[in-house]
Amino acid sequence: MVNTLSFLPIPLLQWYGEHARDLPWRREPTPYRVWVSEIMLQQTRVAAVLGYFAKFMDAFPTVQDLAAAPEDQLMKLWQGLGYYSRARNLQKAARQIVDTFGGAFPTDYGDIRSLAGVGDYTAAAIASISFGQPVPAVDGNLLRVAARVMGDDTDITTTQGKRHFTAALQEIIPLDFPGQFNQAMMDLGAMVCLPNGAPLCQQCPAEAFCQARKQGEPKTCRSARPRSPGGWKSGWFFCSFVGERWPFDGGRARDSWPGCGSTPMSWPRRRALWRTGGSRER
């Protein structure tokens, strides 16, 4: 059986050459910059990350700067992005790089994967984009595009399904342009082969051979276990201050309560609104 994805790399890379998003971490794709951008992009849209990324790079231009940064400064820069454990894991990983790898970003996929807060997708993104290693960076975008192009209704949310599509992508990722391929797939999934609503098939480089389109089911992308859409919760919480600092600075509360771990405004009672559930944003 022919892997329909084998037809994709050439037209995809041609499309990417014309339509790639102009993003700061792509202009200078060092492993440090790619890593920071990928961590920021977890659960966060690209447009929201741009300003934070610029300020972060100004404050911590190297992994050594991040490793040595005071936690208060790091958390203040991160304030507003949410999911504060990401920032703490960034610094923990930066210190791993300094202590274990002599301050040089690891080049081996397994070593990258061993860093705090780095999963399979992030490790593959860094390895392919910064080091040219042919490893597919498989996230929701790549899974959705692969499932549609192949016309394959395997459930992409299961471990078996992810392995199935990862293997199919591994077969066709270009050895000479793995980073560009992964980024092109990310852009295609974000801009054309959309997760919600009708995909923009007439703008897609895979239009001629996409099996889902040929079958008249361009939205094909099976998920037997629909992901929770998430929601909003709100409530009051009360604070007591010690000088100008939160008494629970450093606790887990910072991931659940927006604003925790930062200098408060002027009132001892705040109304909080926070997001629950949801999926990775691009």
Token output for 189: 């999934």
Average pLDDT, the chain: 84
Contact between residue 241 and residue 262 where contact means Cβ atoms under 8 Å apart: no
Q: What is the pLDDT of residue 216?
A: 85
In the predicted structure, residue 36 carries a pLDDT above the cut 60: yes
- Annotated active-site residue 71? The verdict is no
Residue range 61-73: mean pLDDT, rounded: 97
Residues 6+ apart with CB under 8 A from 134: 128, 170, 173, 174, 175, 178
Helix H or strand E encompassing 232:
strand 231-238
> Residue 14 and residue 78: Cα distance in Å, rounded?
36
More confident residue, 249 or 7: 7
Which residue, among 186, 154, 216, 168, has the nearest Cα to 12 in the 3D structure?
A: 186
Residues 6+ apart with CB under 8 A from 33: 24, 25, 57
In the predicted structure, residue 69 carries a pLDDT above the cut 60: yes
pLDDT in tens, 137-189: 999 999 999 999 999 999 999 999 999 999 999 999 999 999 999 999 999 99
Catalytic residue among 38, 207, 244, 281: 38
Token output for 89: 């894991």
The amino acid that residue 31 corresponds to is: P
> Residue 75 and residue 67: Cα distance in Å, rounded?
13
Q: What is the pLDDT of residue 198?
A: 83
Query: What is this structure's pTM?
Result: 0.80
